[in-house]
Amino acid sequence: RALLALKDADVATARRYYAEALASHPNKLSLLERAMRLDLMAGDVQAAEALARRALEVDVGHALSNYVIGSVRLADRELDLAEVALRQSMKRARFPEALNDLAWLLFLKREYAESESLAREAVELRPGVCHAWDTLGATLLAQGELEEAEEALQKALSLASNVGTLLHMAQLQAAKGDKEHAREIILMIADKTGRLSSEAKADYDRLRRDLGDS
């Protein structure tokens, strides 16, 4: 019934049927994984995390479950715990999402060489993931590879107009010496800074000061 619901793109109904199936087979990994994927599709990270913890009780190395736990830890800025879970995930499978999350984590830790390598792998596996292009662009920018960083950020923005990516583009334009362009972008995102992480907001404020706009 869940599979039939998915054929009709009815994710909510499919999730309900998988929940019923898991009530009868609570430790069946294939059901846990399918239900977890649907929770992620629905944006219900809390439900996905609960299923991931159940799956890890059955199989401590389960790739998707470790990815989910790592992603949650990363969102909570528990970087060391997130890194352990994400690396454990990639022992079994190299999901583009997990590759990008670990690449971004390493970017935050200023471990740029491995961050770049993982981000490149992520965009090669799934070129349509805007966040991976953003991660690659930010990592290249941090290493002074401005031309290739700009190409990566432009690719990210062609896929989605993300405020974090726009901030990275402003930083890049400032690094190139094009302060006027950087100011234009800063003004463009001035009313959207509430969407930025605390680290990105600090970068935004720092760039404004450097550009003489505060």
- The pTM for the full model equals 0.89
CA distances 34 to 55, 159, 190, Å, are 11, 27, 40
Amino acid 172: pLDDT: 97
Element (H, E) at 113: helix 112-125
Higher pLDDT among residues 106 and 15, named by residue: 106
Q: Is 30 exposed, middle or buried (0-12, 13-18, 19+ CB in 10 A)?
A: exposed
Q: What is the C-alpha separation between 98 and 40, in angstroms, rounded?
A: 13
Evaluate if residue 66 carries a pLDDT over 70.
yes
The overall average pLDDT reported for the chain is 93
Residue 89 pLDDT: 97
What are the b/e assignments for 48-57, b being 16+ CB within 10 Å?
A: bbebbebbbe
DSSP string, 56-91: HHH-TT-HHHHHHHHHHHHHTT-HHHHHHHHHHHHT
Could you tell me the pLDDT band of residue 213, with boundaries at 50, 70 and 90? low
Q: Is the pLDDT of residue 5 over 80?
A: no
Q: Is the pLDDT of residue 37 over 60?
A: yes
Q: Indicate whether 198 pLDDT > 80.
A: yes
Residue 80 has pLDDT above 70, yes or no: yes
Q: Could you give the percent of the chain with pLDDT greater than 70?
A: 99
The CA distances from residue 156 to 145, 149, 166, in Å, are: 16, 11, 9
Looking at the predicted structure, is the pLDDT value of residue 83 above 60? yes
pLDDT of 6 over the 80 cut: no
Q: What is the mean pLDDT of residues 89-106?
A: 96
Residue 170 CA to residue 128 CA, distance in Å, equals 22
Residue 168 pLDDT: 97
